């Protein structure tokens, strides 16, 4: 398999009500196997659009994976569009659907519901094959035409993932041939990075993507294993301690890696991020050995009662202040019995800003047995962007503290 096209079906995608997730998942796995994803398309629920998609790509790509439009309700049109495309009728794949029903035999409520959805969820175009759904009810559809394998799967991400793993085992098998590396550099702008590694950027055997996301820039380097490895070595030596450790795909991973290496525990105290720093650290499985927890203290009372921020600090300097950030970090260190702590307190907006402390003003506190310090940043963007950047900056500084401290 050389080429693939991924398509997601659903008005909720074109109306901006839902973000596309399945093609994103599949693209990553195909890419890792050296399969070239020619395009990702998001199209509407309409039968004609699904038909037109099939006409556009069958015969022009080795694989076409469709996601969505196989549920039990009126807006699920994929099975009918495929039957039209293949110019055939539809019949129920009862034997396969029985296997789905068998899974809920001991749950009378779900059993009744699953049976009620048999039509249309078991209906398969006569010139295609049914695809078993190990994680949900709706069967998938598979057929071949003009050298293209077409697989239509439900849009529920858990079902899509389980069924692609089942239908395309070769894509999910371990691989050695097609290699890529990700190198994350902190605090240096993308153009400066590109200028400092011309041998990598201009190497025709490599394909380099440069992806900035304040305060980090990620380089994704693709090519054969040997060239990629030597490019990665060169970048690492050139940017030294501004590069995250090898194998760390995110700031959170780097923090956990470094804490594990040093045998220390980290904790957080969060105000404007509301738990997002803790969430980022615990996104990664097995974080409990080095991450103790995070005290989300949104109110002044919580900052005082839980973290021990002083009354006079809140009264004289306010919650968004150097003093408060320092006391929050020290509080987190103490109540969690941690070795390193980071705190954030800021104004994410859209309200709450003032001339002295405009929206985007965030104080970060860092505490360890050795020292407490605080730093202020004025972060641009809307509420969501300010919160995301606050999380990234807090993790970046926590990593530097663990790495150098």
Q: According to CB under 8 A, which residues from 275 to 314 bind its own copies? A: 275-279, 281-283, 285-288, 291-299, 301-302, 305-306
Among 18, 103, 260, 262, binds its own copies (CB under 8 A): 18
Contacts 24+ apart (CB under 8 A), 323-328: 324/363, 325/363, 325/364, 325/365, 325/374, 326/365, 326/367, 326/372, 326/373, 326/374, 327/365, 328/269, 328/271, 328/297, 328/303, 328/365
Site for its own copies in 223-262 (CB under 8 A): none
Task: Answer yes or no: are the C-beta atoms of 386 and 379 closer than 8 Å.
Answer: yes
Task: Answer yes or no: are the C-beta atoms of 179 and 222 closer than 8 Å.
Answer: yes
Nearer to its own copies, 120 or 140 (CB): 120
Q: Is 69 in the site for its own copies (CB under 8 A)?
A: no
Stretch that binds its own copies, among 32-40, 223-231, 366-374, 397-405 (CB under 8 A): 32-40
Residue 346's beta-bridge partner residues? 362
Nearer to its own copies, 28 or 147 (CB): 28
Task: Answer yes or no: are the C-beta atoms of 205 and 250 closer than 8 Å.
Answer: no
Nearest Cα to 269, choosing from 135, 394, 93, 142? 394
Stretch that binds its own copies, among 82-90, 144-152, 163-171, 182-190 (CB under 8 A): 182-190
Least distance in angstroms from the C-beta of 226 to its own copies: 20
Least distance in angstroms from the C-beta of 332 to its own copies: 10
Least distance in angstroms from the C-beta of 211 to its own copies: 5
Sequence-distant (6+) residues with CB within 8 A of 118 are: 92, 94, 97, 101
Least distance in angstroms from the C-beta of 404 to its own copies: 22
Least distance in angstroms from the C-beta of 190 to its own copies: 6
Among 9, 12, 97, 327, binds its own copies (CB under 8 A): 12
Stretch that binds its own copies, among 96-104, 256-264, 269-277, 363-371 (CB under 8 A): 269-277
Site for its own copies in 365-394 (CB under 8 A): 380-385, 387
Q: Is 208 in the site for its own copies (CB under 8 A)?
A: yes
Nearer to its own copies, 285 or 371 (CB): 285
Q: Is 17 in the site for its own copies (CB under 8 A)?
A: yes
Computed from CA positions of residues 98, 102, 103, 106, in that sequence, does the dihedral angle turn out positive or negative? positive
Among 272, 320, 362, 396, binds its own copies (CB under 8 A): 272
Task: Answer yes or no: are the C-beta atoms of 366 and 388 closer than 8 Å.
Answer: no
Nearer to its own copies, 2 or 116 (CB): 116
Token pair 């371990």 is at which residue?
174
Least distance in angstroms from the C-beta of 86 to its own copies: 23
| Rounded-to-integer distance, Cα 210 and Cα 199, Å | 15
Q: What are phi and psi of 385, to 5 degrees?
A: -70, -40
Burial of 198 (0-12, 13-18, 19+ CB in 10 A): exposed
Decide the pairing of beta strands 148-153 and 179-186: unpaired
Question: What is the per-residue binding string for its own copies in 108-147, x denoting contact by CB under 8 A?
Answer: -----x--xx-----------------x------------
Among 69, 71, 125, 140, binds its own copies (CB under 8 A): 71
Computed from CA positions of residues 262, 263, 269, 273, in that sequence, does the dihedral angle turn out positive or negative? positive
Least distance in angstroms from the C-beta of 267 to its own copies: 8
Among 10, 223, 360, 365, binds its own copies (CB under 8 A): 10
Least distance in angstroms from the C-beta of 40 to its own copies: 4
Nearest Cα to 342, choosing from 217, 227, 210, 251? 251
Least distance in angstroms from the C-beta of 160 to its own copies: 12
Task: Answer yes or no: are the C-beta atoms of 125 and 90 closer than 8 Å.
Answer: yes
């Amino acid at each position: 398999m050389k080429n693939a096209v991924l398509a997601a079906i659903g008005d909720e995608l074109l109306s901006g009500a839902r973000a596309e997730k399945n093609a994103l998942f599949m693209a990553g796995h195909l890419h890792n196997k050296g399969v070239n994803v020619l395009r990702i398309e998001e199209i509407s629920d309409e039968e004609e659009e699904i038909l037109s998609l099939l006409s556009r790509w069958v015969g022009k790509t080795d694989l076409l994976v469709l996601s969505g439009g196989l549920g039990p309700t009126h807006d699920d049109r994929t099975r009918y569009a495929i039957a039209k495309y293949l110019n055939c009728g539809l019949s129920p794949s009862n034997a396969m659907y029985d296997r789905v029903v068998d899974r809920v035999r001991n749950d009378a409520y779900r059993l009744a519901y699953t049976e009620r959805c048999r039509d249309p969820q078991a209906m398969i175009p006569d010139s295609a094959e049914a695809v078993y759904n190990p994680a949900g009810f709706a069967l998938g559809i598979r057929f071949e035409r003009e050298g293209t394998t077409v697989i239509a799967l439900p849009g529920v991400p858990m079902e899509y993932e389980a069924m692609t793993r089942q239908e395309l085992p070769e894509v999910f098998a371990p691989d050695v041939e097609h290699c890529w590396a990700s190198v994350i550099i902190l605090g240096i702008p993308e153009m400066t990075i590109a200028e400092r590694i011309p041998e990598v950027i201009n190497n025709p055997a490599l394909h380099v993507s440069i992806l900035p996301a304040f305060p980090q820039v990620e380089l994704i380097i693709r090519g054969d294993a040997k060239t990629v490895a030597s490019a990665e070595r060169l970048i690492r030596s050139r940017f030294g301690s501004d590069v995250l450790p090898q194998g760390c795909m995110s700031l959170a991973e780097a923090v956990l890696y470094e804490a594990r290496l040093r045998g220390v525990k980290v904790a957080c105290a969060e105000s404007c991020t509301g738990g997002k720093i803790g969430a980022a650290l615990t996104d990664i499985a097995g974080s409990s050995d080095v991450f103790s927890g995070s005290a989300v203290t949104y109110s002044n009372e919580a900052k005082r009662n839980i973290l021990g921020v002083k009354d006079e600090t809140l009264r004289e300097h306010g919650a968004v202040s150097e003093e408060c950030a320092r006391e929050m970090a020290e509080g987190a260190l103490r109540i969690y019995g941690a070795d390193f702590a980071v705190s954030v307190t800021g104004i994410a907006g859209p309200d709450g800003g003032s001339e002295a402390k405009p929206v985007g003003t965030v104080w970060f506190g860092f505490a360890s047995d050795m020292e407490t310090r605080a730093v202020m940043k004025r972060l641009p963007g809307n509420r969501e962007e300010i919160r995301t950047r606050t999380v990234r900056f807090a993790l970046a500084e926590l990593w530097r503290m663990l790495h150098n401290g």
